[in-house]
């Protein structure tokens, strides 16, 4: 099962592979297929009708349609030329603002095909430090005659005011239970899988409005032959928490390089948000059997790094530092 951020997949994988991943296969291609987001879609539609687009900021939780809407804009504006006019970057795995600037510069070197401008979608913009955001703002200005930026982030509050004031802000919300269940039902029917309605509601309750998570769980559970409460439980219990626990045990045993490797796989192969990783670490530590004073020291560190993450620090760097601290405790 592939959980990775779709950006890399779209670039590298063959269509056949994408077709087999339901989050890609059933990703809406047109705005009218996007569900919910009533505060967003009509405004975007009017931009498309006028063939104009300001710089935008998409805020909201994971898996609620931010990337999808950006892709729909490119599809509807540029039709079959959208590939040439759309660049997707991820601020947290592009090793800093310098890499982003080089990629933007390269992309902006050629003229847009079939339109007035190109679109750069920068995911997890809130993972950039304040300095990097100022550099980004300058880059946005340098290329604004040829490129429109769509910045995606969880909270607008983590973005510096000069960027906020230069973008049109679109607030996406987590999808409702009915929205998610209906969407899953639709996929289940198209895939002709056996399912129960209560299992779909259960999937919603686990995924908390994150449609990517919900669709991934549905696909995994379907491989057991039938999607029911039992099969959903059996596949979800093997997901993140187990991987996070393994990573944590590795760090606690003092093996930082191995723990770090597992962390990178969680962040970049499985596409799990840094904040979700740290929440999992927290619950695992609380539940773990270990020496009390050691447990307290780790909990204290987790609190400190969780705060740094919510302040907008780079998740990879912060989580690596946390694992390093945990590994160091084992050497005391």
**136 Cβ neighbours under 8 A, 6+ residues apart:** 97, 100, 122, 125, 128, 163
Candidates 31, 64, 156, 266: give the one binding ligand ADP (CB under 6 A): 64
Candidates 87, 159, 215, 285: give the one binding ligand ADP (CB under 6 A): 215
Q: For residue 262, state whether it binds ligand ADP (rule: CB under 6 A).
A: no
Q: Which residues pair with 87 in a beta bridge?
A: 120
- Each residue 27-56 as x (binds ligand ADP by CB under 6 A) or -, in order, gives xx-----xxxx-------------------
Candidates 2, 44, 65, 231: give the one binding ligand ADP (CB under 6 A): 65
- Residues lying near Mg ion in the complex (CB under 5 A) are found at 66-67
**What's the burial of 193, exposed, middle or buried (CB within 10 Å: 0-12/13-18/19+)?**
middle
At closest approach, how far in Å is the CB of 248 from ligand ADP? 25
Q: For residue 181, state whether it binds ligand ADP (rule: CB under 6 A).
A: no
Place of tokens 């390269």: 106
Structure tokens at 70: 């950006």
Query: Which part of the chain contacts ligand ADP (CB under 6 A), choosing from 19-27, 76-84, 191-199, 240-248?
Result: 19-27
Contact partner at residue 215 from Mg ion, ligand ADP, none, CB < 5 to 8 Å by partner kind: ligand ADP
Q: How far apart are CA 97 and CA 95, in angstroms?
A: 7
Structural contact between residues 214 and 207, judged by C-beta atoms closer than 8 angstroms: yes
- CA 153 to each of CA 56, 156, 188, 266: distance values in angstroms, whole numbers, following the listed order: 11, 7, 30, 19
At closest approach, how far in Å is the CB of 152 from Mg ion? 6
Q: Which is nearer to Mg ion, 21 or 227 (by Cβ)?
A: 21
Closest C-alpha to 103, from 115, 86, 87, 114: 87
Contact partner at residue 27 from ligand ADP, Mg ion, none, CB < 5 to 8 Å by partner kind: ligand ADP
Q: Which residues pair with 118 in a beta bridge?
A: 147
Query: Which part of the chain contacts ligand ADP (CB under 6 A), choosing from 25-33, 49-57, 160-168, 262-270?
Result: 25-33
Size of the site for ligand ADP (CB under 6 A): 20
Structural contact between residues 6 and 22, judged by C-beta atoms closer than 8 angstroms: no
At closest approach, how far in Å is the CB of 58 from Mg ion? 9
Q: For residue 26, state whether it binds ligand ADP (rule: CB under 6 A).
A: yes
State phi, psi for 272 to the nearest 5 degrees. -85, 135
Q: How far apart are CA 293 and CA 302, in angstroms?
A: 14
- Each residue 122-161 as x (binds ligand ADP by CB under 6 A) or -, in order, gives ----------------------------------------
At closest approach, how far in Å is the CB of 205 from ligand ADP? 17
Q: For residue 68, state whether it binds ligand ADP (rule: CB under 6 A).
A: yes
Structure tokens at 224: 């057991």
Q: How far apart are CA 23 and CA 284, in angstroms?
A: 28
Per CB under 6 A, residues contacting ligand ADP are: 6, 23, 26-28, 34-37, 62-68, 175, 211-212, 215
């Amino acid at each position: 099962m592939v959980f990775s951020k779709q950006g890399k997949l779209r670039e590298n994988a063959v269509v056949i592979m994408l077709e087999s991943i339901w989050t890609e296969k059933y990703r809406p291609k047109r705005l009218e297929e996007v569900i919910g987001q009533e505060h967003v879609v009509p405004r975007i539609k009017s931009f498309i009708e006028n063939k104009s687009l300001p710089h935008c900021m998409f805020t909201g939780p994971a898996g609620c349609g931010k990337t999808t809407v950006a892709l729909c804009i490119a599809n509807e504006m540029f039709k079959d030329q959208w590939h040439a006019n759309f660049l997707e970057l991820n601020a947290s795995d592009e090793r800093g603002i310098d890499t982003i600037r080089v990629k933007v510069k390269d992309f902006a070197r050629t003229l847009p095909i079939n339109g007035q401008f190109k679109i750069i979608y920068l995911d997890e913009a809130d993972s950039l430090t304040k300095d990097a955001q100022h550099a980004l703002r300058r880059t946005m200005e340098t290329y604004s005659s040829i490129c429109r930026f769509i910045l995606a982030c969880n909270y607008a509050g983590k973005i510096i005011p000069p960027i906020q004031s230069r973008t049109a802000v679109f607030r996406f919300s987590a999808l409702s239970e009915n929205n998610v269940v209906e969407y899953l039902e639709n996929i289940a029917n198209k895939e002709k899988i056996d399912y129960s309605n209560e299992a779909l509601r259960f999937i919603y309750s686990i995924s908390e409005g994150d449609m990517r998570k919900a669709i991934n769980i549905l696909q995994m559970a379907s491989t057991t032959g039938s999607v029911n409460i039992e099969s959903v439980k059996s596949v979800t219990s093997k997901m993140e928490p187990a991987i996070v626990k393994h990573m944590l045990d590795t760090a606690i045993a003092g093996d930082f390089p191995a723990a770090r490797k597992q962390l990178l796989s969680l962040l970049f192969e499985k596409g799990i948000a840094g904040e979700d990783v740290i929440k999992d670490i927290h619950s695992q530590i609380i539940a773990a059997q270990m020496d009390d004073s050691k447990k307290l020291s780790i909990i204290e560190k987790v609190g400190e790094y969780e705060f740094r993450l919510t302040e907008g620090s780079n998740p990879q760097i912060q989580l690596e530092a946390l694992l390093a601290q945990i590994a160091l405790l084992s050497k005391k």
